[in-house]
């Protein structure tokens, strides 16, 4: 089933949109099946889980961190991941930069936007993104590649549209600044229930889990 799901998605997605298979709580076997069907990027929410999967899969796919990264997990994350999509503070960015310098690595990162302005969610407010990115652009061992947004979880996909619109506006404003060391290539928005609307509003990376792997069993 996973293979059919992946193939259907890859046929549906426009050529310029990259698919991240959100693999939270999935087994290495399930992830491998998705890779065999054409998935090139695996998204993981937890460093520990990613480590277990990575031991089996290795570099058959690229690895993106898409969960909230705690500073004490940065060292492991830097070794495992090709991109960290959820940088939401200067403190976290400085820690990633420091560890990357030790590892002789430049980490691609996206800055996470709290487009719904939800107190319980991570991410910077849209109006604070520019200031943060200007500060982070001075760090030598991270490369800012764009923005990522979660958006509030809304049962009705159409309700997500205003949040995607605002994030795209923020993305375009920052891109227009042509800041040195800031590429603004990727806009990662949209999940299983909202990816079509996210693409309509400018996303070129979508993070899809249950449409690939089926619904997660509640533990």
What Å distances lie between residue 156 and 39, 61, 161, 198, CA to CA? 27, 32, 10, 13
- What integer pLDDT is reported at residue 152 of this predicted model? 76
User: Which CATH code fits 2-213?
Assistant: 3.20.20.10
pTM over 0.75: yes
Of residues 43, 49, 101, the one with CA closest to residue 75: 101
- What integer pLDDT is reported at residue 219 of this predicted model? 46
In a 3-state reduction of DSSP, which class is residue 31? helix
**105 vs 172: CA distance, rounded Å:** 28
* pLDDT tens digits, 50-95: 999 999 999 999 999 999 999 999 999 999 999 999 999 999 999 9
In a 3-state reduction of DSSP, which class is residue 184? strand
- What integer pLDDT is reported at residue 22 of this predicted model? 98
CA angle 110, 56, 96 (to 5 degrees): 30
What Å distances lie between residue 131 and 56, 74, 111, 137, 169, CA to CA? 40, 23, 12, 10, 15
- What integer pLDDT is reported at residue 118 of this predicted model? 84
- E-only strand ranges, the chain: 18-22, 41-44, 62-65, 83-87, 107-113, 142-149, 182-189, 205-208
- What integer pLDDT is reported at residue 15 of this predicted model? 97
- What integer pLDDT is reported at residue 215 of this predicted model? 86
- What integer pLDDT is reported at residue 206 of this predicted model? 98
- Please check whether residue 81 is in contact with residue 45, taking contact to mean a CB–CB distance below 8 angstroms: no
Residues of the chain with pLDDT under 50: 219
Of residues 40, 43, 33, the one with CA closest to residue 4: 33
């Amino acid at each position: 089933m996973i293979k059919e799901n992946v193939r259907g998605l890859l046929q549906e997605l426009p050529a310029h949109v990259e698919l991240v298979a959100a693999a939270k709580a999935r087994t290495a076997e399930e992830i491998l099946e998705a890779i065999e069907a054409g998935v090139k990027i695996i998204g993981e929410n937890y460093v520990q889980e990613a480590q277990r999967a990575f031991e089996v899969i290795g570099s058959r796919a690229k690895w993106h961190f898409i969960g909230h990264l705690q500073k004490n997990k940065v060292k492991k994350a830097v070794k495992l991941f090709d991109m960290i999509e959820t940088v939401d503070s200067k403190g976290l960015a400085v820690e990633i930069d420091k560890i990357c310098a030790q590892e002789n690595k430049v980490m691609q990162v996206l800055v996470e936007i709290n487009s719904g302005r939800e107190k319980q969610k991570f991410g910077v407010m849209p109006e604070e993104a520019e200031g943060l990115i200007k500060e982070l652009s001075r760090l030598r061992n991270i490369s800012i590649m764009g923005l990522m947004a979660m958006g509030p979880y809304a049962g009705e996909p159409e309700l997500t549209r205003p949040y995607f619109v605002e994030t795209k506006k923020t993305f375009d404003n920052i891109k227009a600044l042509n800041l040195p060391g800031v590429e603004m290539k990727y806009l990662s928005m949209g999940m299983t229930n909202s990816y079509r609307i996210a693409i309509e509003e400018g996303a070129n990376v979508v993070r899809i889990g249950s449409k690939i792997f089926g619904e997660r069993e509640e533990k």
